[in-house]
């Protein structure tokens, strides 16, 4: 899962570099695109000059949503907007305004309204009412009472159990001024953990006169589990959320060198990284460490703990390093040795089962193939390669072991990996890659999905509590644990799932009721239904929720 999220993040960042003019050209060419119109108000009054955004909701990946802004418009002096050239699909209609927020909709805490658009359809009366967001303000001081100046205060949205909630927040950090005072505004209603420093990373922040201090949560604790969550209401302001940093933490330096595992020769000018391996949530930390001409490196300000060090190779590198464990306790660590080895290579071809259409096959060059090794510590970007127009691919720098594959494209995921073969034999458990060898004859068999499900959720024997959220997922009958898509219905219970390969699927609807005073939110028993999807066909589905059976 972490690897998949990392890959999707990298794709999303790459996609964000596409120019706005290119997107507008693509929209102009979509002659049968839909049109959305609506009205934005702030505290009941027309909101002029507000940026309205339409974000694809084709995946369950919030990072992708953050970067893949396909269509935008500005409201006129009457607060009205018009979005044209909208392709068929499911979207989140939202706005970008630093001080104001929209009512929260959907189980993923996305600020906005789910909108279903059919080909050539005009959707009107999409009215959104903005309200002034919540505010958290306070002061940060060091152990001597002196202000901590120019440091970022970060917020994490959490649930009742202080577990992180995934959400798109337009504004979730603020910087302390010369008095140590910070002010974070434009916050949706919710519970937040407030911390000083950029999280998460296993290092330290510059705390002013107090020297290096560990990452600290309100009201002044290092342990996140002991942090106090702050309740924020729309339009409300929570004051005096003050944080006092502890005394300077003991941090240490780690030194060593990077060598070729075969020759023992030092390797210069390589980037280093390290990762906390104690089971904490900390991800890979890319430090400012680089080997010198003698292959030597130095990691500074490392807090006590257990870690693994490695080199950070790029996607075209022929080399990799095994994680080198080390522990920091009460002093500097010296003599660490990171051994670098030449990786194996994998070559093969990708093909689309049952497809001979040149127009579809030409899209193979838009795909990227990645290798996954779930039993290994993920230390650097996985080996990856673009698929050539003729379907061939070549991956280098692959560590030995059993590998599986992931094939992704942007912006639409119309291709799905059906199976992997090696020398004509299906490899359901992965392909074995011997150390230092070239593995050829790998074949990735893909499916191309042009089917869709157009659905409607209905209820009987009662009504859902106000504020309930719904989520629809589909999974192939042949592989029921592999969820192909997740979407959320619009306010009328409609949903639209596109880019589905032909086949038999199990559609699952899950409902979460809202929390009310004295009663926690509750996940109702799922409703499941079998669906047959054909390429090029909109499959109509009506899902009836029997609320009497779901109690």
* Residues 125 and 7 occupy one common structural domain: yes
pLDDT-wise least confident of 180-189, 333-342, 378-387, 532-541: 378-387
Q: Give the pLDDT confidence score for residue 263 in this predicted structure.
A: 93
User: Do 372 and 418 belong to one domain?
Assistant: yes
Quick one: 286 and 356 in the same domain?
no
pLDDT band at 374 (very low <50, low <70, confident <90, very high): low
Q: Is a pLDDT exceeding 90 seen at residue 222?
A: no
Q: Domain tally for the chain?
A: 5
- Is residue 366, in this structure, part of any structural domain at all? yes
Final residue of a structural domain among 130, 162, 181: 130
In the predicted model, is pLDDT for residue 494 greater than 70? yes
If asked whether residues 303 and 379 sit together in one domain, one would say no
In a domain, 43, yes or no: yes
| Residue 215 structure tokens | 């990452």
Q: Tell me, what's the pLDDT at 379? A: 47
Same domain, 336 and 295: yes
The residues near 74 (Cβ < 8 Å, ≥ 6 apart) are 49, 50, 51, 52, 81
Q: What percent of the chain has pLDDT over 90?
A: 26
| 291 in any annotated domain | yes
For tokens 């500005």, what's the residue? Answer: 74
Lowest mean pLDDT among 28-42, 181-195, 248-262, 325-339: 28-42
Q: What is the pLDDT of residues 391-446, one digit of tens each?
A: 999 998 888 989 999 888 765 667 888 889 999 999 988 899 998 899 999 999 98
* 3 state SS of 29: helix
Paired tokens of 223: 């342990």
Task: Give the pair of three-digit tokens for residue 82.
Answer: 């018009």
- The dihedral region occupied by 99, where left means phi > 0, alpha psi between -120 and 50, and beta the remainder, is alpha
Residues 102 and 169 in one domain: no
Question: Per the structure block, which two tokens stand in for 137?
Answer: 């303000």
Q: Is 58 left (phi over 0), alpha (psi -120 to 50) or beta?
A: alpha
39 pLDDT more than 90: yes
- Owner of token pair 């001024």: 177
Nearest to 127 by CA among 109, 116, 110, 113: 113
Nearest to 53 by CA among 111, 106, 123, 8: 111
Q: What is the CATH number of the domain that holds 330?
A: 2.60.40.1120
Q: Does 398 map to a domain?
A: yes
Question: Are 288 and 271 within 8 A, CB to CB?
Answer: no
pLDDT in tens, 278-287: 654 444 555 5
Query: 306, 341, 376: which is the final residue of a domain?
Result: 341
pLDDT on residue 7 = 41
Query: Is the domain of 84 the same as that of 9?
Result: yes
In a domain, 529, yes or no: yes
Per-range mean pLDDT, top range of 21-35, 59-73, 181-195: 181-195
Instruction: Using pLDDT thresholds of 50, 70 and 90, give the confidence band for residue 66.
Output: very low
Q: Domain range spanning residue 114? A: 2-130
Give the distance, in angstroms, between the CA of residue 120 and the centroid of all CA atoms in the same chain.
31
Asked if the structure places residue 32 within a domain, the reply is yes
**Minimum mean pLDDT range among 153-167, 195-209, 448-462:** 195-209
CA gap 315, 327 in Å, rounded: 29
Say how many CA atoms lie within 13 Å of 217 toward its Cβ: 17
The structure tokens 């409703």 sit at: 527
Residues 474, 499: Cα–Cα separation, whole Å: 12
pTM for the predicted model, two decimal places: 0.55
Higher-pLDDT residue of 251 and 375 is: 251
pLDDT at 349: 95
Within-domain flag for 551 = no
| Beta strand 80-86 pairing with 34-42 | antiparallel
| Phi and psi, residue 250, nearest 5° | -75, 115
CATH of the domain at 12: 2.60.40.10
What are 405's strand-pairing partners? 371
Q: Are both 101 and 24 inside the same structural domain?
A: yes
Same domain, yes or no, for 173 and 96? Answer: no
Mention every residue, 6+ apart, whose C-beta is less than 8 A from residue 392: 347, 348, 349, 350
**Among 321, 341, 361, which residue terminates a domain?**
341
Per the domain annotation, does 197 fall within a domain?
Answer: yes
Residues 291 and 238 in one domain: no
What residues contact residue 463 under an 8 Å CB cut-off, 6+ apart? 547
Q: Based on the fold, state whether residues 189 and 306 are members of the same structural domain.
A: no
Asked if residue 488 and residue 422 are part of one domain, the reply reads no
For 361-373, what is each residue's pLDDT tens digit?
988 998 999 888 7
- Find the mean pLDDT for residues 9-21: 38
Helices (H) and strands (E) in the chain, counts: 4, 45
For every residue of 358-411, DSSP letters joined together read: HHHHGGGGGEEEEEE-TTS---SPPPEEEPPTTSEEEEEEEPSEEEEEEEEESS
8 Å CB contact between 196 and 187: no
Whether the CB-CB separation of 251 and 212 falls below 8 Å is answered with yes
């Amino acid at each position: 899962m972490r690897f998949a999220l990392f890959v999707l993040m990298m794709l999303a960042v790459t996609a964000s570099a596409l120019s706005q003019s290119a997107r507008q050209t693509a929209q102009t060419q979509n002659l049968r695109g839909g049109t959305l119109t609506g009205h934005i108000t702030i505290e009941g009054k027309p909101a002029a000059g507000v940026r309205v955004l339409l974000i694809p909701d084709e995946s369950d990946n919030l990072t992708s949503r953050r970067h893949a802004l396909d269509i935008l418009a500005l409201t006129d002096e009457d607060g009205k907007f018009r979005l044209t050239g909208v392709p068929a699909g499911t979207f989140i209609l939202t706005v970008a305004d630093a001080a104001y927020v929209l009512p929260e909709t959907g189980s993923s805490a996305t600020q906005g309204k789910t909108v279903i658009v059919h080909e050539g359809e005009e959707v009107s009366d999409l009215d959104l009412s903005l309200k002034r967001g919540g505010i958290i303000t306070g002061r940060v001081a060091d152990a001597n009472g002196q202000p901590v100046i120019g440091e970022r205060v970060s917020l994490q949205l959490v649930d009742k159990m202080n577990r992180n909630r995934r959400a798109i927040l337009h504004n979730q950090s603020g910087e302390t001024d010369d008095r140590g005072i910070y002010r974070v505004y434009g916050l949706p209603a919710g519970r937040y953990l407030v911390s000083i420093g950029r999280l998460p990373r296993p290092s330290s922040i510059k705390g002013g006169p107090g020297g290096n201090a560990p990452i600290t949560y309100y009201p002044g604790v290092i342990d996140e589990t002991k942090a106090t969550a702050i309740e924020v209401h729309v339009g409300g302001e929570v004051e005096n959320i003050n944080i006092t940093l502890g005394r300077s933490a003991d941090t240490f330096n780690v030194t060593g060198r990077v060598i070729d595992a075969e020759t023992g020769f030092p390797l210069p000018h390589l980037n280093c990284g390290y990762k906390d391996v104690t089971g904490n949530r900390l991800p890979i930390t890319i430090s400012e460490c680089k080997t010198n001409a003698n292959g030597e490196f130095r990691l500074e300000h490392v807090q006590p703990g257990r870690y693994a060090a490695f080199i950070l190779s790029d996607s075209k590198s022929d080399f990799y390093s095994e994680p080198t464990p080390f522990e920091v306790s009460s002093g500097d660590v010296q003599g660490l040795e990171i051994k670098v080895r030449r990786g194996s290579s994998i070559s093969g071809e990708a093909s689309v089962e049952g497809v001979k259409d040149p127009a579809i096959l030409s899209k193979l060059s838009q795909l990227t193939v990645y290798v996954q090794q779930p039993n290994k510590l993920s230390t650097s970007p996985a080996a990856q390669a673009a698929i050539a127009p003729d379907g061939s691919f070549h991956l280098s720098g692959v560590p030995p072991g059993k590998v599986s594959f992931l094939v992704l494209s942007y912006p639409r995921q119309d291709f799905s990996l059906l199976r992997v073969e090696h020398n004509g034999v299906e490899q359901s458990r992965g392909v074995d890659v011997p150390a230092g060898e070239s593995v050829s004859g790998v074949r990735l068999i893909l499916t191309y999905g042009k089917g869709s499900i157009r659905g409607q959720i209905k209820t009987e024997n009662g009504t859902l509590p106000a504020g309930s959220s719904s989520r629809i997922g589909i999974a192939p009958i042949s592989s029921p644990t592999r969820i192909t898509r997740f979407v959320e219905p619009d306010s009328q219970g409609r949903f639209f799932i596109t880019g589905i390969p032909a086949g038999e699927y199990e559609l699952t609807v899950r409902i979460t009721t809202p929390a009310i005073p004295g009663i926690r939110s509750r996940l109702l028993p799922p409703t499941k239904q079998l669906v047959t999807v054909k390429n090029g066909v909109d499959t109509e589905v009506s899902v009836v929720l029997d609320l009497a059976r779901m109690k």
